[in-house]
Copies of this chain bind each other. A is one copy, B any other.
Amino acid sequence: MAGWARAVRGLLLDVSGVLYDSGADGGVPIAGSAEAVRRIKASGLKLRLCTNETQATRENFVKKLQGMGFDVSVSEVTAPAPAACHILKERGLRPHLLVHDDLVPEFAEIDKTNPNCVVLGDAAENFTYANLNEAFRVLIGMEKPVLISLGRGRYYKETDGLKLDVGAYMKALEYACDVQAEVVGKPSKRFFESALAEMGVLAEQAIMIGDDIVNDVGGAQQCGMRALQVRTGKYRPSDENHPDVKPDAYVNNLAEAVDIILQQM
């Protein structure tokens, strides 16, 4: 019973759909999740928030979570924008940004003059016809277009309904320019590996808990981690028949996952 929960040293938690349901109103915590985070910390397990959130800086994102009662800090967050900045600096890339207004400060130190790549995030209301055409023209004007996408999610749920995620817009630009985007964020192996390194935990000692069957569960398993799917957030019953990805276990929510894991310790 619950063999999947043995010999754990660290937990990676997806945030939206696991800790809270996001929405135009800021979001609503998922029942039991704040208490579950506190119990993880009290247990001595390492904890890392591993998110594809790109609608806010880490500072504002953590402030919002704290406001909902979560005991978390900026130093516990692995997110795509800082990872992308690392890559931009490493390769001397100057981005044209198509991202959410609130994410722009994460790129404050990056040279954005005379762009030689496009960085695409979940721009939400900034996904206008004009902005998409502009990003497209920057890309198609390059001899070898470089498109960096902060995640490749298909869609997510907000309190007012499902929204197309960055992956859909990534596919639009990929097709129009005949390029393949470089994905920074889940399910990229490099991204999960930096989260593990930041925790100081090996893949086989870690469990990823998420609501996204492909980006959370599939991605973490590809890195050698165990992975659970919660039945909250964007979970749909049809996920349980996914042709390629099978979680190590399903749990109703984060609280239940933490119950089972702590019982095994």
| A residues apposed to B, CB below 8 Å | 124-125, 127-129, 132-133, 136-137, 140, 154-155, 161-165, 167-169, 171-178
Please tell me if the beta carbons of B175 and A154 are within 8 angstroms of each other in the complex: yes
Number of copies: 2
Which residues does chain B contribute within 8 Å of A154, judged by CB atoms? 175-178
Q: Given A154-B175, A172-B172, A175-B171, A164–B128 Cβ distance below 8 Å?
A: no
Which residues does chain B contribute within 8 Å of A176, judged by CB atoms? 154-155, 164-165, 167-168
> What are 13 A-B pairs with beta-carbon distances under 8 A?
A127-B129, A127-B132, A128-B128, A128-B129, A136-B162, A154-B176, A155-B176, A165-B176, A168-B173, A168-B175, A169-B172, A171-B172, A171-B174
Q: How far in angstroms is the closest Cβ of chain B from A101?
A: 13
7 more contacts with CB within 8 A, not counting A136-B164, A155-B176, A168-B175, are A127-B129, A127-B132, A137-B162, A164-B176, A165-B176, A168-B173, A171-B172
Q: How far in angstroms is the closest Cβ of chain B from A98?
A: 12
The 3 residue pairs across chains A and B that have the minimum distance between CB atoms: A168-B172, A171-B175, A172-B172
A41 to B155 Cα, complex, angstroms: 52
Across the interface, A140 reaches (CB within 8 A) one of B124, B128, B155, B169, namely: B155
A154 to B161 Cα, complex, angstroms: 29
A173 to B162 Cα, complex, angstroms: 13
A140 to B154 Cα, complex, angstroms: 11
Which residues does chain B contribute within 8 Å of A171, judged by CB atoms? 171-172, 174-175
